[in-house]
Amino acid sequence: MTAQDAVATLEGVGYAVGGRTILAGLDLAIQRGRVTAIMGPSGTGKTTLLRLLTGQLQPSSGRVSVAGFDLSRLNRRDTYALRRRMGMLFQNGALLTDLDVYENVAFPLREHTDLPEPLIRRIVLMKLEAVGLRGAARLMPAELSGGMARRVALARAIVMDPEILIYDEPFAGLDPIALGMVLRLIRDLNQSLGITSIVVSHDVHVIERLADHAVLLSGGGIAAAGSPTELASNPDPAVRQFMSGSAEGPVPFHYPAPDLASDLADGVR
């Protein structure tokens, strides 16, 4: 992959919080126009990686570049301008509960543009049509099912025609039908709009159907990377444990702690 193929890169990125290392020397390139999945056990830095890519966090070491910009060199105004080139689908949808579906989708346009109302209306209805919910434009978030709410949030995420679309656990809590709809939407939107999609998910089986490229985080770095098929056949024990969902393997269930017997004894002295 050439530098022109990468829409975002992390070079030697380290990040620690409270003395605990989250990422250490991470190197990653997100290829333009593809669906890249970020996977890994809880606590391995998936959400941290997203925050680094959007400029919410600064790395302790290394460099993060998005769309050719070194994020550490951007001032606040330029960082906000770069974020407007990204769309974000949050895990719970994060719809504004006091606004109906139409106004939720229109919100970024009203906040960041001076477009006339007739054009805003046209764009909002087109985006709602793309996710199959134009007829639900005047429903309130409380009237939506989980799958519908996620699709409204997706319409809002694409209303500014972003170059990069970030999904944080987009399949959590969805029934099989709603999951299938969202899965198809992500794939179709990526192809029809020519955008780059970054998907954080624990759902191995869905990622196998969705991603062009998958990255498995572990131990502060990348344990494995490649197509989902390549990850599924990876012989590394930690990779096999995650991909198979096994309780047995090198990834521990317990957070590091003293021996239980000595810990209990200390409490009665």
Domain range annotation of the chain: 3-85+162-267
Q: What pLDDT score was predicted for residue 124? A: 94
User: What is the CB neighbour count within 10 angstroms for residue 260?
Assistant: 9
Q: What pLDDT score was predicted for residue 246? A: 59
Q: What pLDDT score was predicted for residue 206? A: 83
Bridge pairing between strands 69-70 and 196-200: unpaired
Q: What pLDDT score was predicted for residue 255? A: 61
3-85+162-267 domain in CATH 1.20.1260.10? Answer: no
Q: Using an 8 Å Cβ cutoff, are 137 and 128 in contact? A: yes
Q: What pLDDT score was predicted for residue 247? A: 62
Q: What pLDDT score was predicted for residue 28? A: 92
Q: CA angle 10-14-17, nearest 5°?
A: 130
The C-alpha atoms of residue 189 and residue 131 are separated, in whole angstroms, by 9
Q: Using an 8 Å Cβ cutoff, are 47 and 225 in contact? A: no
pTM of the model: 0.81
Q: What is the DSSP letter of 2?
A: -
Residues of the chain with pLDDT under 50: 2
Q: What pLDDT score was predicted for residue 151? A: 86
**Sequential DSSP letters for 70-90:** EGGG--HHHHHHHHTTEEEE-
